[in-house]
Structure 1
């Protein structure tokens, strides 16, 4: 271990020992260690969804409400596959480390994540301590927005043809008007997303953060391509940001320190320094 890395680890561990609360900010890289696919670039996306490569669709093309209007069985094939994948995924050990750190602190933790996979809830984080800034795949809404209601996707069990990436089971419908339902997720070019549940989450996060005097921000797997999480981390950090990123860990010293590495392994490394 280099002296420079050891110095950063000691600094991060010291902040965590002193903290009365931690803000966990997470992007897509947080789920990769749990076995979730990396959609970075078209090639990464097409490795996960080869049928969509033949059609020439990128992640941005599929994560778009226009697909539900133009080709609903393909749109729901894509999201139905993801829904099943997230339901079956087991959160990696890094989640448990974060929970253990939070449990030692007077004000615990709050999560801010652009991930729609529900992995923090599955790992045992309280639902009222999570702000999902891009929504959740585990909730549905009406594509026609006949109502501002959202409802659980629990009763929807998609059957997807792996060769065509199309949904073969019945598509979910709005219980109010019978129109097609869609995931309650913020997509590209999306003016119909119902964000009311997440506004309440945002208000809860702001109220919690106002009570924390020795806040540490731990950012995990948040890239620059969609910088929502990175920017929120930097605005919130109070010069105590711990940024963990496999490819884009560069951090302004005014914000905190950065670590090149995967989420799980780096959290384990920091954990050994705290004990």
Structure 2
């Protein structure tokens, strides 16, 4: 088990590390991308400041919160108010394109490679950018899916039409009651398919993607492989970060890469086969 006290940051110059990464990408056979919130942040999905005020100034004035995350946890008195907020949130963070072409640049970098993506992001940016959906595993859900809030069954439902209707028809920060999503099986309220507790629905698509990812790793576990970690923090390190470290340690032909704005580091056990670059991911991809 890796000990956090033994984690080290790269001391090599920024541009030297980028050059090393470029050479490694060009010569590697397989790339496993692990993406966290930092990648979407680099792509312009900012949840406070100017972007928050652009879409939620009226909500801020009425409810007193100052960023999109806080708005998601606000105790709205009615479902009409709740879905007025969430329909706007989903529309701008799931159905609108990312403000910056970071995901498109990433695809250009790996499109001719044998790649797979595992991500904790739920904004669907990979698929919108053109990544092969059969090479994507969204572990934590998708803003574009509803599920039963109970849940009474393990099935999810596309929500784009409902969300766009809510956006078009809401007035005074409330949606019409007839647009409130209800489970077609038990009639209870629907909710987003997001992993926040033990009610998260892992539907057929989720299990298919999980199996594809597992098979991809198993069939290439001893090969020339690059584990490319992008914007992953320590909120849920057991999903991407720790497994990437372990798989790199177990395979002498593997290389671990960590790109992160604030905390780019690797354990000493794999430091010689690691490339850590601290900086904006979008700018690094441009240089590559």
TM range (shorter): 0.7 to 0.9
**Which residue is equivalent to 2:225?**
215
- Alignment check: 8 A CA contact 2:47 2:68 kept: no
| 2:22 maps to 1:7 | no
SS in 1 for 2:89: helix
Alpha-carbon offset, residue 263 of structure 1: 1.6
TM-score, normalised by the number of residues in structure 2: 0.76
Number of residue pairs matched by the alignment = 260
SS in 2 for 1:265: helix
**Which residue is equivalent to 2:79?**
72
Alpha-carbon offset, residue 100 of structure 1: 2.5
- Give matches, 1:1-275, under 5 Å: 4-38=13-47, 51=59, 54=63, 71-85=78-92, 86-90=94-98, 92-105=100-113, 108-156=114-162, 157=164, 158-159=166-167, 166-167=174-175, 170-187=179-196, 190-196=197-203, 197-212=205-220, 213-227=223-237, 228-238=239-249, 240-253=255-268, 254=270, 256-269=274-287, 271=288
The root-mean-square deviation of aligned C-alpha atoms, in Å, is 3.3
- Cα distance in structure 2, aligned partners of 1:15 and 1:36: 29
TM-score, normalised by the number of residues in structure 1: 0.79
- Cα distance in structure 1, aligned partners of 2:241 and 2:199: 25
Alpha-carbon offset, residue 141 of structure 1: 0.8
Q: Which runs of 5+ in 2 are unaligned?
A: 1-10
- Cα distance in structure 2, aligned partners of 1:174 and 1:36: 30
Distance 1:129 1:91, change over 3 A: farther
- Cα distance in structure 2, aligned partners of 1:103 and 1:114: 21
- Alignment check: 8 A CA contact 1:143 1:181 kept: yes
